[in-house]
Amino acid sequence: MLLRFRATDFRCLKKAELELGPRFNLIHGANASGKTSLLEALAYLGRGKSFRGATTANLTRHGENEFVLFGEIEQGAGRKTLGVRNGREGLEVRVGGEAAASAAALAEALPLQVIDPEVHNLIAGGPELRRRFLDWVAFHVEHDHLQIWRRFRRALKQRNAALRSRASESTIRSWNTEFLKLAMDLDQSRRKVLDLTMEALLAHGRLLLQSELGFEYRQGWPSDSELAENLESGIERDRALGATQAGPHRADIKVGCDERQARKLVSRGQQKLLASAMILAATETAQAALQRPLLLLLDDPAAELDRDSVTRLMGAVSGLGCQVVATSLEPEALRFPEPPRVFHVEQGGVSYDAH
């Protein structure tokens, strides 16, 4: 749980400080007042990167050289500080007062998920976001997933480099053993995690879309075949393209639904609901494994949704038991099961609403 937060020179925020409530927090303010900036800063503290893919230069307040984020989390009986600084000197991460090697230390200390107006891309966009979705759950649930994932990436890079350098078939084959082993480990880890998340996926899908859905893992090579055979039979094609075509780096999650629901899924609102159902399911699963409340950031959750859908979404969010920070133009637009702690943003500054 995040207790205190401070952002300095992040986007339009000169210096913004929050003392967050343990359950529900609402940030409201006019258009362009800094709501998204504040949420993005919170997300950055738990990820070491922007959820919108923004560059450090774009995130640093105009005229400044760096931004600094600080947070204090409650962990078990104790407290821990988190610090992030990024600018011309590069990313610096501190956890518990000590320099951390990578942003993974932030993700471990402050696991969080984001539902923002771009969330529909999880459905409408390419498979990369869906792989990342699954890998996020796996990172928190499966102890060695990050290690497996990193080693697989390295093996893929090496194999691809060999393909591009027009290495002989036997040289390329020599990379296959390592590649195959790590590919199978990654595949197993993801399948296990999708299984673990399935019940929550179905339940949240049913609740938010009021329709029966299916979620199926597509492994990244034809389902009725072995990866080893695909590597062997595809070696000519891989060499021609200079990239490995079969493997878990091509995996996807296929959402199944009936025809009526499929037609509805062309709408952005429906895509947002489905994506939100997936994110809530992931949050629930990771939270159950970690046995502590996660942070859920909702940027303008009412956007694109009709009133009933917003009510259902907020109902599902409230039922998770996580710490929530939501933004809204109007303070009354979102319903919470108990009064949220309310903050007002104005011209890059934050004030606490006492009422």
Two tokens at 6? 């401070």
Over the window 33 to 62, marking each residue x when it contacts Mg ion by CB under 5 A and - when it does not, the resulting string is --xx--------------------------
Quote the least distance from Cβ 3 to Mg ion, whole Å.
Answer: 24
Count of residues touching ligand ADP (by CB under 6 A)? 14
Spatial CA neighbour of 119 closest among 284, 313, 263: 313
Q: Nearest 5°: CA angle at 254, between 252 and 260? A: 155
Interface pick for ligand ADP out of 33, 176, 271, 309 (rule CB under 6 A)? 33
Q: How far apart are CA 209 and CA 202, in angstroms?
A: 10
Spatial CA neighbour of 122 closest among 39, 201, 224: 201
Q: Phi, psi at residue 237, to the nearest 5°?
A: -65, -45
Rg of the chain, C-alpha, whole Å = 22
Over the window 274 to 313, marking each residue x when it contacts ligand ADP by CB under 6 A and - when it does not, the resulting string is ----------------------------------------
Over the window 39 to 78, marking each residue x when it contacts ligand ADP by CB under 6 A and - when it does not, the resulting string is -------------------x-xxx----------------
| Pick 35 or 190: Cβ nearer Mg ion | 35
Quote the least distance from Cβ 22 to ligand ADP, whole Å.
Answer: 24
54-87 b/e (C-beta count within 10 Å ≥ 16 → b): eeeeebbbeeeebbbbbbbbeeeeeeeebbbbbb
Quote the least distance from Cβ 344 to ligand ADP, whole Å.
Answer: 11
4's enclosing H/E stretch is: strand 2-10
Which listed range, 29-37, 70-78, 87-95, 316-324, lies at the site for ligand ADP (CB under 6 A)? 29-37
Q: Nearest 5°: CA angle at 114, between 43 and 300? A: 105
Q: How far apart are CA 270 and CA 305, in angstroms?
A: 8
| Pick 65 or 75: Cβ nearer ligand ADP | 65
Q: Does residue 48 sit in helix, strand or coil?
A: coil
| Pick 142 or 304: Cβ nearer Mg ion | 304
Quote the least distance from Cβ 300 to ligand ADP, whole Å.
Answer: 7
How far from each other are the two terminal CA atoms of the chain, in whole angstroms?
A: 23
Does position 31 interact with ligand ADP (CB under 6 A)? The reply is: yes
Q: Residues in the site for ligand ADP, rule: CB under 6 A?
A: 11-12, 29, 31-37, 58, 60-62
Give the residues lining the site for Mg ion (CB under 5 A).
35-36
